[in-house]
Structure 1
Amino acid sequence: MIAIIDYGMGNLHSVSKAVERLGCEAVVTSSAEEILAADGAILPGVGAFGDAMRNLRETGLDRVVRELAASGKPLLGICLGMQLLFEESEEYGRHEGLGLLPGRVVRFQGDYKVPHMGWNELKFEQASPLFADLEPGYVYFVHSYHVLPTRREDLLATADYHQPVTAIVGRGSVHGMQFHPEKSGELGMALLHRFTELVEGARVKSR
């Protein structure tokens, strides 16, 4: 079972349906008990960082997400959900994040179109079980802010949008994708499938 965390901001339906298409059981939930009982969880997100963190704190789900990550169960942040994994964001002021990975979220700066919207090619920066044996390809982005990870080893894949842009991050059981895998065709679904395999592997180990 994969919990799709419902904190009022996210593409819950599309993410849950994508997981189900991969043959996995998914539940959209805001219940701490259901999330912590799941074999893994996905933290989706659409909207502003500060609003998202306020919702997570007011519902107590910030503590739940941290507890799940500390347990070693696989966690995947998608789009804004990936940004929330980091320490802070400058979106409309300074806002503290979940702090599961060190780094900060900043706005694109330059004489080019913002938001970054459309299909961009991934560049795999280092080995990861998320994309072992997969060929790089194009995935779909929509964002005005991007992550600057503190640790180079947490940066798993980038895309080029007038600069290298953090596309996939990961450390231990915690991963994030800035793009929308459920909207990114064959490669996006393959990456999401690899995450479900990580969840299944963790479930088997915990028996």
Structure 2
Amino acid sequence: MPTVVVLDYGSGNLRSAVRALERAGAAVTLTSDKQAALDADGLVVPGVGAYAACMAGLRGVKGPEIIGRRLAGGRPVLGICVGMQVLFATGVEHGITTEGCDEWPGTVERLRAPVVPHMGWNTVAVPEGSRLFDGITDERFYFVHSYGVREWELVTNDRTKAPLVTWAETGPDQERGDRFVAAVENGPLCATQFHPEKSGDAGARLLANWVGGLPTPPS
């Protein structure tokens, strides 16, 4: 059974994520311990609330260092909601710019839509070849956010290693809103803007896909 650490840095109620990952087949620990986070087969970085506050909490437990060291060794990391947003270079809220983990170029900014926050169930546009969304077709996922990444800026000439970016739009189906990044698959680094742990069977399948893809040491 793969081991997963949900990084506890003071960002909201994390028990639902822990339970969902356990149901997905992982042995899960909720902790801020650096060594445990480095040693686990998979690391989940959750996040709710303000970008700046999440980054402050993350720095308090050496989160950017943990994420960077894991990725340098090809060790899987999954960001959820603001835990995805902090993986980008910067976040701008109320005119204040905060530096993120800078694993991907790009800016988290307020969505431009008739109704914000974007809250509730929504469909996503998944690229061909996605492993996270394997076996998931025409499903809805649960979002709750006012900010997002509206442009994907990372460019690569190697199509075999190019990140897979999933998109979504705010607003009801009949009213075009604002397009934003809903998920990213980039080697060992994956992330979702939506909450898979709150997204019913589709979210459970996505987490099972991620857990099932974790490399585990031979017994």
- TM-score, normalization by structure 2: 0.87
Matched, 1:174 2:189: yes
Shift in Å, 1:69? 1.9
Q: What is the SS of the residue equivalent to 2:124?
A: strand
Letter in 2 for 1:198: G
Residue number in structure 2 paired with 1:99? 102
Letter in 1 for 2:169: D
Q: 1:155 to 1:10 in 2, by over 3 A?
A: farther
Cα shift readout 1:166-207 (whole Å, capped 9, x = no counterpart):
1111211001100000110111111111110121xx224x78
Is the contact made by 1:126 and 1:156 (CA closer than 8 Å) also made in structure 2?
no
Residue number in structure 2 paired with 1:149? 152
5 Å-filtered alignment, 1:13-162, equals 13-92=15-94, 93-110=96-113, 112-147=114-149, 148-151=151-154, 153-161=162-170, 162=177
Q: 2 CA distance for matches of 1:155 and 1:149?
A: 11
TM superposition outliers: structure 1 runs of 4+ over 6 Å: none
Shift in Å, 1:155? 4.7
Is the contact made by 1:123 and 1:158 (CA closer than 8 Å) also made in structure 2?
yes
Q: 1 CA distance for matches of 2:121 and 2:134?
A: 21
Is the contact made by 1:88 and 1:103 (CA closer than 8 Å) also made in structure 2?
yes
**What is the number of residues matched between the two proteins?**
203
Residue number in structure 1 paired with 2:10? 8
Q: 1 CA distance for matches of 2:191 and 2:25?
A: 21
Q: 2 CA distance for matches of 1:105 and 1:195?
A: 24
Larger relative helix fraction: 1
Is the contact made by 1:146 and 1:165 (CA closer than 8 Å) also made in structure 2?
yes
Shift in Å, 1:125? 2.5
Q: What is the SS of the residue equivalent to 1:156?
A: strand
Is the contact made by 1:149 and 1:155 (CA closer than 8 Å) also made in structure 2?
no
Q: What fraction of aligned residue pairs are identical, expressed as a percent? A: 38
- TM-score, normalization by structure 1: 0.92
Letter in 2 for 1:9: S
Is the contact made by 1:69 and 1:174 (CA closer than 8 Å) also made in structure 2?
yes
